Amino acid sequence: MVIDRVLSGDSRGEGEEQFNYALRPKRLEECIGQDNVRQKLAIAIQAARKRGEPLEHILFYGPPGLGKTTLAHVIANEMGAAIRVTSGPALTKQGDVMGLLSNIGTGDILFIDEIHRLSTPVEEFLYPAMEDFKVDFTVDSGLHAKTINFPLKRFTLIGATTRAGLLSAPLRGRFGILHHLEFYSPQELTQILRRSAVLLNLQADAGTLELIAQRSRGTPRIANRLLKRVRDYAQVKGAGRLTAKIVSDALRMEQIDELGLDELDRAFLRALATVYGGGPAGIEALAATLGEERDTLEDVVEPYLLQIGFVRRTKRGREITPEACRHLGLKIASPKGPLPQKELFEEDV
């Protein structure tokens, strides 16, 4: 069961990139929420500028759609630096990194999204680049292989990952600044939506943006995406203005409930409750039952369900909580005893 998700974490899709770009804050003072991260970044940026030095390497981690890419661009703007954007899976060989690094200027930023997906050789190639601003590049192969030591300009690497735990210790250790991005409060999301509505020239009745914010799972990307869907709905079914009825009808059509859960979240919880008797169930087993990618469940579905206390993660697997059963109107499941040994070894929880 692959469900078209309005709530999916990634930003791909028709027009989505442009839409995101238009709504993306450009300066630190335009960013809403993440107060702690913003304050620390503001200090680091000011200090680096005063010293006339590039920033230390920075790692952002947290669920998709919380603003990691946005912050990388904001930092580049604040530092007056150029930014080059790439991603872990796009850098398949050392030559790909070399191509980027050899053209990078002093103080410029290299942004690597999904940095946990770098291959080991590429990652190891990056170590001296990050630490000593040089690389050992091998040209030719076999008998003619030669290693050339290539000095680089002092640049700043900004890495983004949804899973800091998957980063190797040596890579993690080479970042001077690490920031965990948290889910946003409904009030912060309302502020973000207010800003977006102004940029989109959208009229909204009092209380309507709050309705969208409450159903956005603490995630600005989802809030903006819902705003876009609601705007379309208002244009077709109404006079273009957001009213309480338009918003709730549009969200109902998207099958998003009052907590912001969509069909895939509910399917996940239902599978856990009914197929696995409330759990514990391993993520691979759940992915197989739902016909979904394990990564989607771990990156996009679970973090919010964990945050609102609908799922518990134990050593033996995922368990549903009574709150989740109540929300779905299911008989409250009592988690099972220990898993049979065989299952324990097969499942990677």
Residues that bind ligand ADP (CB under 6 A): 11, 20, 23-25, 31-34, 64-70, 160, 192, 220-221, 224
Active site (annotated) includes residue 221: yes
Structure tokens at 234: 């208002």
Catalytic residue among 162, 208, 219, 289: 162
Find the shortest distance in angstroms from Cβ 111 to ligand ADP: 9
| Catalytic residue list contains 229 | no
Nearer to ligand ADP, 33 or 159 (CB): 33
Those residues with Cβ within 8 angstroms of residue 184's Cβ, 6 or more apart along the chain or in another chain: 32, 33, 34, 66, 192, 218, 219, 220
CB of 349 to ligand ADP, least distance (A): 25
* Total residues belonging to the chain: 349
Catalytic hit among 68, 117, 172, 217: 68
Asked about 69 being catalytic, the answer comes back as yes
Tell me whether the omega of the peptide bond preceding residue 280 falls within 30 degrees of 0, making it cis: yes
* Cα angle value 342/348/349 (rounded, 5°): 110
Cβ at position 253, least distance to ligand ADP in Å: 23
**Phi, psi for residue 84 in degrees, rounded to 5:** -115, 130
* DSSP 8-state assignment for residue 340: P
Among this protein's residues, is 289 annotated catalytic? no
69: phi then psi, degrees, rounded to nearest 5: -65, -40
CB atoms within 10 A of CB 29: 11
Nearest distance from C-beta of residue 150 to ligand ADP, angstroms: 30
Please report how close the Cβ of residue 143 comes to ligand ADP at its closest, in angstroms.
Answer: 45
Q: Is 296 a catalytic residue?
A: no
In the bound state with ligand ADP, the residue whose beta carbon lies nearer, of 9 and 282, is: 9
Cβ closer to ligand ADP: 64 or 88? 64
Residue 113 near residue 86 (C-beta atoms within 8 A): yes
Is residue 174 within 8 Å of 131, Cβ to Cβ?
yes
Residue whose C-beta lies closest to ligand ADP: 67
Choosing from 69, 70, 156, 321, the catalytic residue is 69
The helix or strand, by DSSP H or E, that contains position 77, with its residue range, turns out to be helix 68-79
Of 188 and 254, CB closest to ligand ADP = 188
SS3 assignment, position 321? coil
Smallest gap, in angstroms, from Cβ of residue 256 to ligand ADP? 17
Distances (CA, A) of 188 to 26, 27, 36, 164, 324: 17, 17, 14, 25, 25
Kindly tell me which of 32 and 311 has the beta carbon lying closer to ligand ADP: 32
- Sheet containing 177-180, strands listed edge to edge, beginning at the edge strand earlier in sequence: 83-87, 109-113, 156-161, 58-61, 177-180
Q: Are 94 and 137 in contact (CB under 8 A)?
A: yes
Structure tokens at 157: 């690497």
Active site residue: 5, 70, 108, 113, which one?
113
Task: State the minimum distance, in angstroms, from the CB of residue 59 to ligand ADP.
Answer: 12
Task: Kindly give, in sequence order, each residue whose CB lies less than 8 Å from that of residue 257, ignoring residues fewer than 6 positions away.
Answer: 215, 266
The nearer residue to ligand ADP, 192 or 250, going by C-beta atoms, is: 192
Catalytic residue positions, numbered? 68-69, 113, 162, 221
